[in-house]
Structure 1
Amino acid sequence: MSRWIMQDTSNMTDVAYQAYSLQGVSRTFALTIPQLPEKLRLQVGNAYLLCRICDTIEDEASLDIVQKENFSGDFIRVVDGELSPEGFAATLSGSLTDTTPEAERDLIRNVHRVIRLTHGFTPTQRRFIGDCVREMAAGMIHYQKRQSLDGLRDVAELYDYCYYVAGVVGVMLTKLFCDYSQEIAKNREQLLELAVSFGRGLQITNILKDIWEDRQRGACWLPRDVFSPCAFELQTIPDHRNDGCYLAGMENLIAITLLHLRNALRYTLSIPPEEKGIRRFCFWALGMALLTLRKINRHRNFRSGQEVKISHLSVKATIAATELVVGGNQRAQWLFDVVEKGLPHDFSLPTP
């Protein structure tokens, strides 16, 4: 996929702008979303951009927590059709600094185009997407207020955090998938339960990969209970990357993440084999997360996310391997078992 370059988009249709913006804010999703059935691509791409706007508000360093809470509340009203997107965009754009990537600033300036598409979806689709954005925005603010280098209280709080930043997306996608296909809807309850776990697996992988980059922003999303046997606090982990207790804590978190990625596989295999587009979408996300987890496991004392970022070759390998297994459950299970070899399976948490 070519590198995103800032363009004059004034003559683009809203649909074309959405595709352009997706490539700028997430090359991964720009790659995976087109794999979905045509009747889902626009809705899923649109939902992703709305969630990215929540992220942009959360990540802008110049905004204090009151401003973030106000912008998040206003954005929910924009999605619900209660507030002008143009006015919201003008105010938020004026508050963003160069620390926010140019592609995200461009997205904020063009919120009205994204929202026009949102408001053109069916009432059911709009409800699913709106519920997701509402929960995500509220959850992000909740955890922004608690953000520190002290980490999260325990694994239960880690799961709660992951629900708001990733699980809600899995729930929304599942509802859209079930609305699209009566065959998929037959497994609705099981899929909704597994969707939350799928989101946890992807998000904890990202948390582990981004430990050091998050610290630069004053955040640590590691659970303190996993590291409670250690003679150091999470605030001081840069000085203890090679400490046996830190490495053991990382091993536990890798094992916990793998448990959820196994549930991600169960989710994917519960999608009917004939829905190859949806399965491909899920397999790609799962495969890239599993390969990232393998790199983290091999380099538990890594110092930068770049050290454990998977290569373009690994991405291509994931895509190629998916084509071999996308239509069959047994082959997919076998491939997962092969790739997960060497990862820790057992974990233990201190008794409260």
Structure 2
Amino acid sequence: MGTSRISLDNPKLLSQLSDDDFQAALLEGVSRTFALTIPQLPVPLYRAVANAYLLCRIVDTIEDEVSLSAQQKAYFCNEFIEVVRTGDNSEPFAVELAPLLSEQTIAAEHTLIHLLPRVIQITHSFEGEQVAALSDCVKTMAAGMPIFQAQNLHNGLATLADMDRYCYYVAGCVGEMLTRLFCHYSPDIARHRTELLELSVAFGQGLQMTNILKDIWDDAGRGVCWLPQDIFTETGFDLKDIRTANACPAFTTGLERLIGIAHAHLRKALDYTLLLPAHETGLRNFCLWAIGMAVLTLCKIKQNLNFTASEQVKITRNSVKTTIIATKLMGRSNLLLNVLFNWTSRGLATPGWSYPISSSKANPDF
């Protein structure tokens, strides 16, 4: 996996790489964060998880493509579900979708769509349970996300339950898929399958909520708001006025409450991680690095509630390095990890306010 920095401008050269180097190169192009964390996994898991991320990124590319109508997005999502499930028709799917991508879609995602047949070929090189886990995740995500994309999102979501459902389609189902892959990999992990599956939804929700809170103003700039109105109704703020929300006490109070909810979900993410065997350091690092970066992001938001752009609350490279070092040093000790989490996330909870946390998944109703 030493050629992961090869240029994505040459799809022909990429197609000549081994499966591992091919996926590593695509990961480097579409997500530096996951290009950092996924290689921490044991090799059998690395291959499947890298492939899973690329499949999910293809769904994201479809959903984010500004040139596609809601009907076209639903069509391509449904077609992609079948491509992943069967392994068939990946070439015509890519040929049909690729020319429709606009310049607003990053070059690495254009390359990903052009090379989609190779990604699908790798998908169907895995064992049956692995393919089923990836296919089920894509089905849930690709069927659920268009439900929200078809809505008017200018004024936010109606309720926190709606936000929960959105986070499930985007991230909670990914947590379930990863858990199935982890359990397939290790009988020791599989002993905790039921509890891990439940906690995995909260894990995904904590990470996704953190992203939503970080990107509030970037999303608002393109006329989108993923915040739940009912939380802000309690504080006396209407999300239709979000463009004038900066420094408004009623808005920042609601924001603090959402930070507290995200923090509570990340606490469950740590509980999830502590159920993984201590000797599985790669698996623990994969989880802990994501949790650590999310907690530090929430801390930056809490310290700067009047921020106006995601760049203002983006954690530094030094913070990422510190997270990596700390978790590597303490990763085998549940006690030390609990202490580290509690110390790092102090102040994120909102005193005197109870969080309406649900650990059950938002059952999709297709």
TM-score (norm 2): 0.92
2:136 maps to 1:152: no
Cα 1:20/1:267, change in 2 over 3 Å = same
Q: Distance in 2 between matches of 1:4 and 1:316?
A: 24
Q: Which runs of 5+ in 2 are unaligned?
A: 357-366
2:28 maps to 1:27: no
Q: Distance in 1 between matches of 2:103 and 2:5?
A: 19
The residue that corresponds to 1:243 in the other structure is 248
Q: 1:100 aligns with which of 102, 105, 119?
A: 105
CA shift for structure 1 position 81:
2.1
Q: Are the aligned partners of 1:136 and 1:165 in contact in 2 as well (CA < 8 Å)? A: yes
Cα 1:285/1:130, change in 2 over 3 Å = same
CA shift for structure 1 position 170:
0.3
Q: Distance in 1 between matches of 2:183 and 2:24?
A: 24
The percentage of counterpart residues that share the same residue type is 50
The residue that corresponds to 2:360 in the other structure is none
Q: Distance in 2 between matches of 1:124 and 1:117?
A: 14
Cα 1:348/1:329, change in 2 over 3 Å = closer
Q: Are the aligned partners of 1:194 and 1:266 in contact in 2 as well (CA < 8 Å)? A: yes
CA shift for structure 1 position 149:
1.2
Q: Distance in 2 between matches of 1:17 and 1:179?
A: 24
CA shift for structure 1 position 236:
1.5
2:238 maps to 1:233: yes
The residue that corresponds to 1:42 in the other structure is 47
Q: How many residues matched?
A: 350
Q: 1:321 aligns with which of 316, 323, 326?
A: 326
The residue that corresponds to 1:332 in the other structure is 337
Q: Distance in 1 between matches of 2:88 and 2:185?
A: 29
SS at match of 1:300: coil
Cα 1:348/1:242, change in 2 over 3 Å = farther
2:179 maps to 1:174: yes
2:348 maps to 1:343: yes
The residue that corresponds to 1:260 in the other structure is 265
2:208 maps to 1:206: no
Q: Are the aligned partners of 1:74 and 1:83 in contact in 2 as well (CA < 8 Å)? A: no
Q: Are the aligned partners of 2:304 and 2:313 in contact in 1 as well (CA < 8 Å)? A: yes
Q: Which runs of 5+ in 1 are unaligned?
A: none
Q: Distance in 2 between matches of 1:66 and 1:48?
A: 25
RMSD over aligned Cα, in angstroms? 1.7
SS at match of 1:63: coil
State the Cα deviation string for residues 282-327 of structure 1 (Å, max 9, x = none): 0000000000000010111110000001111111011000111111
SS at match of 2:315: coil
CA shift for structure 1 position 243:
1.0
Q: How does 1:38-187 map to 2 (within 5 A)?
A: 38-81=43-86, 83-187=88-192
The residue that corresponds to 1:6 in the other structure is 8
Cα 1:232/1:273, change in 2 over 3 Å = closer
State the Cα deviation string for residues 81-123 of structure 1 (Å, max 9, x = none): 2641111111111100010010011000000110110011111
SS at match of 1:228: helix
2:271 maps to 1:269: no
Q: Distance in 1 between matches of 2:26 and 2:251?
A: 39
2:198 maps to 1:196: no
Q: Are the aligned partners of 1:147 and 1:218 in contact in 2 as well (CA < 8 Å)? A: no
CA shift for structure 1 position 182:
0.6
Q: 1:216 aligns with which of 221, 232, 236?
A: 221
SS at match of 2:100: coil
